[in-house]
Chain A
Amino acid sequence: MGYDKRYDGREFDEVRPITAKAGVVKNADGSAYFRIGGTWAYAAVYGPREMFPRFQQNPKKGVLRVNYNMMPFSGQGDRVRPGPNRRAKELSMVSTKAFQDVVDLSKFPNAAVDVFIELPETDAGSRCAGICAASIALADAGIVMKDMVAAVAVGRVDDQIVVDLSYLEEATEDGRGAVDIATAMIPSTGEFTLLQMDGVITKDELKEALSKAKDACAKIAQVQRQALHDKYGNQGGDDNE
């Protein structure tokens, strides 16, 4: 028997319930939280501001720095050791790169934009939730960006292609096991800015998974935009995607 019903009863291409809110950290220039199922990401943006250390400044354009951090109590019971570890450094880097071609800092030479992503609760898909939150926060900070990046994890559990895996699904070892593909996308152009994978997958399965990721990202993008509209009294309510 294959994986014919999801552990949490969702449809195979259904994402977990999402709530998003912009402007949650008062002292930051822009901020947001993004909650998807049991994963909860906060993002705060500071800047553009003077960049230190000075040798990292770029006189041609501003530098974007994204920092990803899981809180010590956030995981599945085991305490996460605080501070940057190998995994957090990698995810900080890929999150930065997910925004590199979207954010335009050419008007801010020698300056830096810092994005801090904090995760108080995690249940798989934390880098994607972090990118979604950071995207709202960057827009909230008034940074020039082509589009808001939407991110979602897709994958395969046993023989079934699924969208937005939970931790239980990700840890499945039944049958062919689980494949987890973290993606981030620019909704207006359909380009991927993040693509990482765990596991073994066939070409056809990958294609199917990515096309489902596009559909899911389009839905997430609407939630992100609504979060910003809500902050300003829902003036631009209807989305025209």
Chain B
Amino acid sequence: MSSKILINERDVVVPGQVLAEGMDYLPSHGTYRLNDKILANKLGVAFIDGKVIKTIPLAGNYLPKRNDVVIGKVIDVLSMGWRVELNSPYGGLIPIRDGTFEFVPKGADLTRYFDIGDYFVGKITNVTSQFLVDVSVKGQGLYKLRDGRLIKVNTNKVPRIIGKKGSMVSMIKQATDVKITVGQNGLVWLNGEPAMENIAVEAIQKIENESHISGLTDRVKEFLEQATGKKIEAKQESSEEDEEEGSHDSQEYDDHSDQGEDGAYEEEQ
């Protein structure tokens, strides 16, 4: 029996859309098999990797994952630590020992370290099957946030905002001179000169809205150069990346999803 593929690489696919017919192809992320067809079950961008068809999601909320670097907010102070919100259906807990390097005596007032409403950059240390999440703010690149502003972005676009080995976010930082920390949970913290912050926010929103269209790096670069009036030195990787399209670009996507597992790009203190 002959099999055929009904979509092109990088097409936007919607739930229920038939992606391929016949038994020669295999369903991966965001797809499933119905009789001899492969259908999408999530809104996303399709990729064909040999015989495997998968989609990269375009929407959806953040689900906590171990070793993710996230930006969170303290919503309650308990006796054993702090309850935090992670822009996700599930909140987390910072145990006292993971909240500070200092020795905390028994019965101490925990609001000295984190008070309700404080924001922080933390790392998820453990997630159970029922999504009980442990967070740590002890470690390199993890700290309490002061000043600056926080914006929400689509969680699925975080790898594109970070870029290959942080190339996209460092380009924005280079152009605007704003400190930026991107949390895997879709919160981005920016601190710098207000006018430049605005440009950085616009650049991030541009990435968010246009990331499924190829040639993103060049467009963002152009936008930043125009907005700041500064010339941005081309980085080897970022200029190469978008010249070739098609298969090379799908590689780019793969790299980003790998990056996602490694954790967020962090601003050094």
Contacts and interface: CB of A to CB of B under 8 A. Distances in A.
Interface stretch (A138-146, A151-159, A206-214): A138-146
B61 A47 contact: yes
A109 B127 CA distance: 13
A144 B41 CA distance: 5
Contact of A148 (B16, B34, B57, B89): B16
B217 interface: no
Contacts of B46: 236
Contacts of B13: 236
Contacts of B90: 50, 110-111
- Dominant secondary structure of chain A at its interface with chain B: loop
A146 B32 contact: yes
Interface residues of A, number: 39
A188 interface: yes
A131 B188 CA distance: 35
A233 interface: yes
Contact of A240 (B7, B43, B59): B7
Interface residues of B, number: 33
Nearest to B6: A240
Interface string A70-90: 000000000000000000000
Contacts of A146: 15-16, 32, 34, 39, 41
B63 interface: yes
A147 B7 contact: no
B91 A48 contact: no
A221 interface: yes
B16 A142 contact: no
A228 interface: yes
B14 interface: yes
A111 B41 contact: no
Contacts of A142: 42-43, 57-61, 156
B213 interface: yes
Contacts of B39: 146-147, 188
Contacts of B162: none
B10 A143 contact: no
Contacts of B156: 142
Interface in B137-167: 156
Contacts of B129: 109
Interface of A: 29-30, 47-50, 59, 62, 104, 107-111, 139-148, 186-189, 221, 225, 228-229, 232-233, 235-236, 239-241
Interface of B: 6-7, 10-18, 32, 34, 39, 41-43, 46, 57-61, 63, 89-91, 129-131, 156, 212-213
